[in-house]
Amino acid sequence: MNKIIPLVFLAIIILFSSCKKDLVGFKSKKKENINIQEIDFDYFMTRTKVRYAEGDKQVNGNANIRIRKDSLIWFSVSPSIGLEATRVMITKDTAIVINRMDKEYYIFNFDEISRYFNFKVDYDLIQAIILGNLARAMDSETQIAKENNYYMIKQKSGPLDIQSFVLMDNKKIETVLINEDETSNFMTLKYSEFKELSEFLFPKVCQVNLTYKAKKGPLVTSINLQHNKAEISDKPLKFPFNIPEKYDAFK
């Protein structure tokens, strides 16, 4: 089986229509000047409809996603017929994928995932994308400006330039633009349909485009996530994950 398939399922939760905005007139401000409405939680779970497209490849299905804050992301992906096809567990340094259709399993580190997409990916970025939170915490180097109905936040994280656009009325992130300096590859995220989730607002829809250079030329990966039932809890969730003995390790 081609190794692209498990990475396709990983991409489902990793990373919109282009919404390019230029940031001008940035002035550094203390981060206390803007109170972004981010989701805080111990445990998070959601049922999600997924539409994935990469070149001429398309995958539609349903995903159950569970998160233990800052340590573990678990999800199960099923096609429309309802039988589980893939189960994934992501930790701070590793992603393990069980492919039930071909009775194989795969182990990736984030360097491998980043090389595949030719774009820097890590655990914190994946968690932030699912929740609609900042991709990186604000620090003393963060720049903030106002334009029209947005707060514009500019950050630098290693090779990534990150620009987040926060709605002034509800303090939620609506758009994120992430550019990688070395490759000029870029990712755009757009959140919409904010719904109440406990005392927070949660984006029901996330649209993602990742544009990167491949061997055959520029390639666009497009992912649409529609969360149907999201919950947060302080009670531990279960993260069942067991690789059957008869499954082969993909090499």
- pLDDT number for residue 42: 97
The pTM assigned to this predicted structure is 0.82
pLDDT cut 70: percent of the chain above it? 86
Burial class (CB in 10 A: 0-12, 13-18, 19+), 177: buried
Residue 30 clears pLDDT 50, i.e. is over it:
no
What average pLDDT score do residues 102-116 get? 89
Q: Is pLDDT of 17 > 60?
A: no
Inform me whether the pLDDT recorded for 97 exceeds 70: yes
The two tokens of residue 230 are: 């999201």
In whole angstroms, what is the distance from residue 178 CA to residue 7 CA?
20
Find the mean pLDDT for residues 184-197: 92
How is domain 4-15+23-230 classified at the CATH fold level?
outer membrane lipoprotein receptor (LolB), chain A (2.50.20)
Stretch among 36-40, 51-55, 164-168 having the lowest mean pLDDT: 51-55
Task: Over range 21-48, report the average pLDDT.
Answer: 71
**Tens of pLDDT, residues 140-172:** 899 999 988 999 999 998 888 999 999 999 999
pLDDT average, residue stretch 7-19:
41
228 has a pLDDT exceeding 60: yes
Q: How confident is the model at residue 16 (pLDDT cuts 50, 70, 90)?
A: very low
> How many angstroms separate the CA atoms of 160 and 82, rounded?
38
3-state helix, strand, coil in the chain (%, to 5): 10, 50, 40
DSSP classification of residue 250: P
Q: What is the structure's pLDDT at 33?
A: 65
Lowest-pLDDT choice from 54-58, 197-201, 236-240: 54-58
- From CA 239, how far away is CA 251, in angstroms rounded? 26
- Neighbour count for residue 229 (Cβ, 10 Å): 9
